Amino acid sequence: MNKIYRKNEVTFAIICIMIYVVGTSLCEALAQSIGIIKLPAMIFHLVLTILILFWIGKNGLSEKYGLKKPAYGIYRAWFYLPLLLIGLSGIFFGVKLKYSAAETAFYIISMLCVGFLEEIIFRGFLFVGMAKKNVKSAVIVSSVTFGIGHIVNLLNGQDLVETLLQIVFALAVGFTLVTLFYKGKSLMPCIIFHGVNNACSAVSDEEASLGFFGSAEREMMVSLVISLVLCAVYSLIMWKTLKAEQRRL
């Protein structure tokens, strides 16, 4: 892999995406056959996370891929409020144990690893590799591939409409996160947000939220519109202010 990375970082990123997508799909299918939610996926995601972290550390690439604290101080904690609202939206209507304790743990660990893997692959490897030539193209491609990548959920049995809405949501969030990484030079806020947002789905009270909105379609549409507005405003603020704030530090 080192030879591929040194030759072409974008090719390296694409290979990582393929390994991640195919491996996740196979593990989800295996989970259905053995009847244990997320166990195969947890093992795969955890092993892949460890391997990538080891590879990054061994090659001294932590700084390059933003595995460090943000440059701005704690006084800007308010800055993450939009991400917090979106990330915790899954549990706004309460928490409910939908699986066994063990399966819930498998689910949460898997989703936390997914947060790291998708950020380091799409916002790290792919974006950084492309940004050397054209930042705007890198932002667009990183966001679009991240969004379209969620079509794998359709192959895993998810409803078509739900998958399409999830792709749109992922496109908006993907653009927001790549903007945050580009402006703030740290991938850590993106990883934390992504992992928490995914993990919340393991314990979200879907019945309570469904009762409030009246239908699953209405719930998804309202959530999507709110998230799109938050992402748009948040991204605009970052583009205009974050770099200037860092220059004053």
Which pLDDT tens digit goes with each residue over 115-139?
999 999 999 999 999 998 888 899 8
Neighbouring residues of 39: CB distance < 8 A, sequence distance ≥ 6: 31, 103, 106
State residue 212's pLDDT score. Answer: 75
Lowest mean pLDDT among 58-62, 118-122, 207-211, 220-224: 207-211
Polymer length in residues for the chain: 249
Structure tokens at 170: 């992922």
Neighbouring residues of 62: CB distance < 8 A, sequence distance ≥ 6: 56, 68
What are the extents of the domains in the chain? Answer: 2-247
Q: List pLDDT tens digits, range 23-73.
A: 998 998 899 899 888 899 999 999 999 999 999 999 999 999 999 888 766
Nearest Cα neighbor of 169 from 148, 187, 190 is: 148
d(C-alpha 108, C-alpha 101), whole Å: 11
